[in-house]
Structure 1
Amino acid sequence: MEQNTEKRIFMLCIENKDCEDLERRKIYQVLPDNEASKEGYLRVVDESGEDYLYPESYFISVQLPEEAQEALRVAS
C-alpha cells in the first residue's frame, strides 16, 4: 500500500464573516495554491466538501500529530 508523503496543512478558523461554509474554532485542511497565497487567500476544503478561496486572515496555523492528520485528511 502506497503511503501519501505529501505534507498536509491544517488551519484553525478564527473568523467566518460572510462565509456560511466556515465554522469558527474548527480545523480545516488547506490545499497548496501559490497563486492564491500571493493574493492573501488560502484554498480551504470547507463544510461543503469542496475547496474554495478564503482570506488568509480568517485562519491560524496548527501543528497536529500524524494520527490527527490522518483522521482529518480529505479523501482524494
Structure 2
Amino acid sequence: MPITPIHMIDTTTTQFAVCVNNSSFPASLETRKIYQLLTDVDAEQQHLLRVIDESGEDYLYPAECFVLIDLPHKLKSALLKAA
C-alpha cells in the first residue's frame, strides 16, 4: 500500500485513541500511549479498531482496549508528521 504524503492526509478525519488495556497484547501496545487509527467500518461492526501499533503496521485490536480522543488540529498535524 503506498504511503500518503503528510500534506495530503485529512487531519480533520484522522482519529487517535489512547490504549487503556494491553494485557492481551503487551508486545504490541503500550498503555497510556496515543495510537493512530485507520478507518475500517467492517472491523468497527465487530467491535475492533484498526490501529497502527508498535511495529508501525496496522492490526485489528478489541475496541475495549482503547479510548477515542479528540486532539487539537495542531497536535494531530505534529503527530502525523512524526509518524
The question of a shared fold, defined as TM-score above 0.5 by the shorter chain, is answered with: yes
Deviations 1:9-53 (A, max 9, x none): 000100001212100000000000011001110000001000000
Q: Give structure 2 stretches of 5+ with no counterpart.
A: 1-6
Aligned equivalents of 2:81, 2:38: Cα separation in 1: 10
Match of 1:64 in 2: 71
Change (3 A) 1:65 1:26: same
Aligned length: 75
SS in structure 2 at match of 1:48: coil
Aligned equivalents of 1:11, 1:25: Cα separation in 2: 9
Task: Give the deviation of 1:67 after TM superposition.
Answer: 1.2
Match of 2:16 in 1: 10
Where is the helix percentage greater, Structure 1 or Structure 2? 2
RMSD: 1.9
Counterpart amino acid of residue 76 in structure 2: Q
TM-score using structure 2 length: 0.80
Identity %: 43
